Amino acid sequence: MHTVNRLPDLRSTVDSLRRTGEIALVPTMGALHDGHLTLVREAKRLAPSVVVSIFVNPTQFGPNEDLDAYPRQLAEDSRLLEAEGVDLLWAPGVEEVYPQGFATNVSVSGLSAVLCGASRPGHFDGVATVVAKLFGQVRPDLALFGEKDWQQLAIIRRMARDLDLVRPLADRIIGVPIVREPDGLAMSSRNRYLSPEHRVHAAALPRLMHDAIAAISGGGDVLVALEQLRVGLLKAGFASVDYAELADAQSLHALKALGTEQARLFVAARIGGTRLIDNMPVS
């Protein structure tokens, strides 16, 4: 596996890889777990060459969020990626991504204003900007993202359509299903922040989401089911619930009832000092 952290080296290595066929990109912020490695394995299935980026992006963190505390373990991550047969690790420093005088921002209206965007202003501008840069740097034929961050995936696809990106095309920005722990909790780098007690209580999140989905799918009132979900999370030990919403899977518009749209249940809740998010389809 090649590891590069300067743009000229990235470009020359990517040019060499392209001679063998398509290139798949898996963007990450490191602290890799099996969810990330599942993306890598799917990328290897879809393309002859796989590039993984590791970059803890400062522009998507708010002033009171965990940028400094975010886990950084490049040596261990590199070992895991090499074992998976990754061709290239792109691990730039902040100054390589945001050089002195950097003054450009990518903002996707509408999709960025709801759900996580409502409680994390500016977060998705940071995400869209850094992903646009990664696409321009690596020029992948396809890119893979986890569906745990469904809103992020929708925003990146919208950006690709709106900016007429061809590498990758919007329909080649691929969502990979959530990888879950045995108790159902979605895998996340932030799970390691949970104390043993909070980790046990966190398993209530997917369980209560399944209960809400069963109620909604069975014809129950959506608003009642969502309120029962919120109350249940607080009783289970969560400190607060940022949102619990039924929304259209594409537009992210809130739904008050099931209809012809593809619906998903979206939840963000805090336990201890950790904010967990999850989403599931509803039919």
Pairwise CA distance, residues 184 & 207, whole Å: 7
228, 215 contact by CB (below 8 A): yes
Helix (H, G, I), strand (E, B) or coil at 173: strand
Residue type, 115: L
Strands of 274-282's sheet in order across: 240-248, 263-271, 274-282
Q: Which residues of 40-71 are buried (b: 16+ CB within 10 A; e: fewer)?
A: bbbbbeebebbbbbbbbbebbbeeeeeeeebb
CA 1 to chain centre: 24
Active site residues: 36
212, 280 contact by CB (below 8 A): no
Tokens 């998010």 belong to 277
Pairwise CA distance, residues 269 & 247, whole Å: 17
